[in-house]
Amino acid sequence: MKHPLAQPACNCHHAPRRAFLSDLGMGFTGLALGAMLQRDGIGRAATAHETAPWRPPDGIPHFAPKAKSVIWLFMQGGTSHLESFDPKPELNKYAGKTISDTPHAGVLDSQNLKDNVVEFTAATRKMMKTIYPLQVGFKKRGQSGIEVSDWWPHLGDVIDDVAVIRSMWTTDNDHAAQLQFHTGRHIFQGYFPSIGSWVHYGLGSLNDNMPQFVVLGGGVPPQLGGPAAVGGDYLGPEHNGVTLNVDPDDPLPFARPGDVYREEQAAEFEFLSKLNHMEGVQYPDDPALKARIKSYEMAFRMQASVPELFQFSDESEATRKLYGIGEKPTDYWGQILLTSRRLVERGCRFVQCFHGYHAAGGGGWDAHADLKKNHSRNSLQADKPIAGLLKDLKSRGLLDETLVVWGTEFGRTPGVEGERGGRDHHPFGFSCWMAGGGIKGGVVNGATDELGFHAVEDRHYVTDIHATVLHQLGLDPKKLDVPGQKRLQIDYGKPIQGIIA
Partner 1 sequence: MRPRLFQRTLLLLTTALLGAGSLPVRAQSPEAVGQKLFTNHIEPLFATRCRTCHSAGSSQGGLDLTSREALVKGGGRGSAIVPGDAAASLLYKVVAHEADPKMPLQAEKLSPEELGLIATWIDLGAPYLSATPATTVAEATLFEDIQPILETKCLVCHGGKFKQAGLDISTREKLLKGSDDHKDVVVPGNADASLLVKKIRHEHDPGMPYQSDKLPDGDIEKIESWISAKAPYTTTLALPAELSERAFSHGQDHWAYQKPIKRTPPTVRNQAWGRHPIDAFIAAEHDNNGLKPLPPTSKRTLVRRVYLDLLGLPPTPRQVSEFLDDRDAQAYEHLIDRLLDSPQYGERWGRHWMDIWRYSDWYGRRSAGDVRNSQPFVWHWRDWIIDSLIADKPYDRMIHEMLAADEIAPTDTDALRATGYLARNWFRFNRNVWVRDTVEYTAAGFLGVTMKCARCHDHKFDPIAQEEYYKLRAFFEPHDIRTDRIPGEPNLEKDGLARAYDAEPREAPSEAPFYPAIFEKTYRFIGGNENNADTEPLDPGVPEILASASNPIEIAPVSLPIESYYPGLRPAIHDDLISEARSEIDRAEAGLEKARQDVALAQSEVPSGQTPRHPMTGADRIDFKQHIKPILETHCTSCHSRRSPKSGLSLTSPDAIFAGGNLSGSTVVPGRSADSPLVKFLSGELAPRMPYRQARLADEKILIIAKWIDQLPSEDPAVSLRRGNDAVAVAERKLEWTKANLPAVKARIAAEKAQYAEPPDPEAEELATKALNAERQAHLLVGRMKLLDAQQRLDEALRAPQPADDDARKAREKQVAAATKRLTQAQEALGKAANEYTPLGKLYPKQSTGRRTALARWITGRDNPLTARVAVNHIWMRHFGEPLVPTVANFGLNGKSPTHPELLDWLAVEFQDSGWSMKHLHRLMLTSNTYRMQSSAGDSGHPSLAADPSNQWYWRTNSRRMEAETVRDSLLHVAGELDTTMGGPELDEAMGETSRRRSLYFTHTPNSQMLFLMLFDGGNAAECYERYESIVPQQALALSNSNLSLSMARLLTARLDKQLEGRDAAAFIDTAFERILARPPTRAEQAMSADFLSRQRDLFKDPQQLTTFKAAEKADVPPSSDPATRAKENLVHVLLNKNEFVVIR
Of 238-267, binders to partner 1 (CB under 8 A) are: 238, 249-250, 252-265, 267
Q: C-beta of 282: minimal distance to partner 1 in Å? A: 7
For partner 1, give the closer residue by CB, 291 or 439: 291
Interior CA angle at 205 toward 204 and 206, to 5°? 140
For partner 1, give the closer residue by CB, 265 or 395: 265
For partner 1, give the closer residue by CB, 490 or 500: 490
Under the criterion CB under 8 A, does residue 329 sit at the interface with partner 1?
no
CB-based contacts of 449, cutoff 8 Å, min separation 6: 104, 107, 429, 456
Q: C-beta of 376: minimal distance to partner 1 in Å? A: 22
Dist CA 201 CA 205 (whole Å) = 9
Identify whether the C-beta of residue 424 lies closer than 8 Å to the C-beta of residue 177. Answer: no
Dist CA 93 CA 84 (whole Å) = 18
Q: C-beta of 15: minimal distance to partner 1 in Å? A: 13
* C-alpha closest to that of 467 among 76, 165, 57: 165
CB-based contacts of 320, cutoff 8 Å, min separation 6: 312, 326, 334, 338
* C-alpha closest to that of 39 among 62, 59, 16, 69: 59
For partner 1, give the closer residue by CB, 150 or 247: 247
Under the criterion CB under 8 A, does residue 370 sit at the interface with partner 1?
no
Q: C-beta of 220: minimal distance to partner 1 in Å? A: 11
CB-based contacts of 417, cutoff 8 Å, min separation 6: 128, 368, 369, 423, 424
Q: C-beta of 453: minimal distance to partner 1 in Å? A: 21
For partner 1, give the closer residue by CB, 172 or 383: 172
The amino acid that residue 256 corresponds to is R
Identify whether the C-beta of residue 383 lies closer than 8 Å to the C-beta of residue 155. Answer: yes
Three-class secondary structure assignment of 366-406: CCCCCHHHHHHHHHHHHHHHHHHHHHHHHHCCCCCCEEEEE
Contact residue for partner 1 among 133, 226, 329, 347 (CB under 8 A): 226
For partner 1, give the closer residue by CB, 397 or 484: 484
* 335-364 residues near partner 1, rule: CB under 8 A: 359-361
* 398-457 residues near partner 1, rule: CB under 8 A: none
Under the criterion CB under 8 A, does residue 317 sit at the interface with partner 1?
no
Tell me, rounded to whole angstroms, the distance of Cα 337 from its chain centroid. 12
For partner 1, give the closer residue by CB, 85 or 192: 192
Dist CA 35 CA 472 (whole Å) = 19
Dist CA 6 CA 213 (whole Å) = 26
For partner 1, give the closer residue by CB, 285 or 317: 285
Q: C-beta of 364: minimal distance to partner 1 in Å? A: 14
Under the criterion CB under 8 A, does residue 313 sit at the interface with partner 1?
no
* 25-84 residues near partner 1, rule: CB under 8 A: 26, 28-31, 33, 45-46, 48-52
Identify whether the C-beta of residue 90 lies closer than 8 Å to the C-beta of residue 107. Answer: no
Over the window 160 to 199, marking each residue x when it contacts partner 1 by CB under 8 A and - when it does not, the resulting string is ---------------------------xxxxx--------
Q: Per-residue b/e over 348-377, b at no fewer than 16 CB within 10 Å?
A: bbbbbbbbbbbeeebbbbbbbeebeebbbb
For partner 1, give the closer residue by CB, 127 or 490: 490
Over the window 96 to 125, marking each residue x when it contacts partner 1 by CB under 8 A and - when it does not, the resulting string is -------------------------xxx--
Which range in 101-109, 140-148, 224-232, 321-329 contacts partner 1 by CB under 8 A? 224-232
For partner 1, give the closer residue by CB, 133 or 226: 226
* 2-21 residues near partner 1, rule: CB under 8 A: 2-11
Dist CA 179 CA 171 (whole Å) = 11
Under the criterion CB under 8 A, does residue 202 sit at the interface with partner 1?
no
**Range list of β-strands (E), 265-400:** 350-355
* 457-496 residues near partner 1, rule: CB under 8 A: 483-484, 486, 488
Three-class secondary structure assignment of 102-160: CCCHHHHHCCHHHHCCECCCCCCCCCCCEECCCCCCEEEECCCCEEEECCCHHHHHCHH
Q: C-beta of 407: minimal distance to partner 1 in Å? A: 23
For partner 1, give the closer residue by CB, 97 or 420: 420
Under the criterion CB under 8 A, does residue 24 sit at the interface with partner 1?
no
Under the criterion CB under 8 A, does residue 292 sit at the interface with partner 1?
yes
Q: C-beta of 378: minimal distance to partner 1 in Å? A: 18
Rg for the chain, CA atoms, rounded: 24
Q: C-beta of 269: minimal distance to partner 1 in Å? A: 8
Q: Per-residue b/e over 420-434, b at no fewer than 16 CB within 10 Å?
A: ebbbbbbbbbbbbbb
Under the criterion CB under 8 A, does residue 134 sit at the interface with partner 1?
no
For partner 1, give the closer residue by CB, 187 or 469: 187
Contact residue for partner 1 among 203, 302, 403, 470 (CB under 8 A): 302
Dist CA 364 CA 105 (whole Å) = 31
